[in-house]
Amino acid sequence: MRAITGVMEDYLKVIYKLQQAVGSATTSAVAGRMGVSAASATSMIKRLARQRLVVHTPYRGLVLTPQGRRIALDTIRRHRLLELYLCRHLGVSLDRVDREAERMEHALSPEVEARIAERLGHPTRDPHGDPIPDEDGTVRDVRYPSLVEIPPGEGGVVDRVSDRRPEALRRLASLGMLPGTSVRVVAHLPGRRVRVDLDGQERVLPRVLAQGVYVR
C-alpha cells in the first residue's frame, strides 16, 4: 500500500462520520463536508478505492473496507485526544480545539499519542462528548436524541454537543450547556426552537443550537 497522506486520512474520517450519522456516504455528501468540488471528491474516492480503502457501490454509496475503517478510527483517536489535551492542559476554548487538532493530528507520532493518552488518564470522551476510539480501533458510540426530539417535560444530562459550527459552540459554552450539564425541555416552539430549563433558568434555543445538543 502506498503512503497514506493527511488528505486521505481526512476523507476516510469524513466517510466514517457520515456512515455513523446517516448510514451511508455519498460522493456529494463527502464533497460538502470536505468543502471541495464533486470532481475533486470523485478523484480522491477513486484513489482510495484503488488502495482498497473504500468500496463504491452504485446506488448504495461508499463503504469503508476494514483497513479504511481502521485508518479512519486511528485518525479520529489522535484528533480527539489532541482536542482534550488542548482544552484541559492548554486552556484552548471549546470552539477552537477542533481546528487546532486538525492541524496537528496527521503529524502526531504513535509514541507521543501514547504519552498524551497516559497523561490524560486514558479518556473515553473528548471535550465535546464524542467517544475516543481505543488503540485497537474499538469505539463505543452510543447515540442519544437531540433537544429537538425530546418531548416537553423530559430531560437528562447533556452527553455531547456538535462541533461542526464553532459559532454555535461559543453560544452553548456561554450558556453553560456542555457535556455533563442537566437540562429539561419545557416546550417546542415554531421553527423547531426549543424552550429549556437550564439550572433553574429558562432559555429559548434556536434550531441551529438545539439540534446539536444530545441528551442522555
> Is the pTM above the cut of 0.75?
yes
- CATH code (residue 168): 2.30.30.90
Residue 186 lies in a domain: yes
Per-residue model confidence (pLDDT) at position 2 = 63
Residue 135 lies in a domain: no
Which 3 state secondary structure label does DSSP give 179? Answer: coil
Q: How far is it, in rounded angstroms, from Cα 185 to Cα 5? A: 44
Number of separate domains in the chain: 2
Among 64, 81, 112, give the residue marking a domain's end.
64
Per-residue model confidence (pLDDT) at position 56 = 85
Q: What angle do CA 210, 79, 103 make, to 5 degrees?
A: 105
Find all residues with CB under 8 Å of 143, minimum gap 6, and list them: 214
Tens digit of each residue's pLDDT (9 = 90 or more) over 7-39 = 999 999 999 999 888 777 999 999 999 999 999
Helix (H) or strand (E) holding 73: helix 66-90
Residue 206 lies in a domain: yes
- CATH code (residue 58): 1.10.10.10
Tens digit of each residue's pLDDT (9 = 90 or more) over 32-70 = 999 999 999 999 999 999 999 999 887 778 999 999 999
Residue 44 lies in a domain: yes
Tens digit of each residue's pLDDT (9 = 90 or more) over 155-191 = 999 999 988 888 888 899 888 898 999 999 999 999 8
Find all residues with CB under 8 Å of 84, minimum gap 6, and list them: 120, 123, 125, 126, 127, 132
Tens digit of each residue's pLDDT (9 = 90 or more) over 113-153 = 999 999 999 999 999 999 999 999 898 888 899 999 999 99
Residue 100 lies in a domain: no
- What residues pair up with 198 in beta bridges, in sequence order? 201
Per-residue model confidence (pLDDT) at position 1 = 52
Residue 73 lies in a domain: no
Residues spanned by the domain of 10: 6-64
| Residue with cell string 477552537 | 96
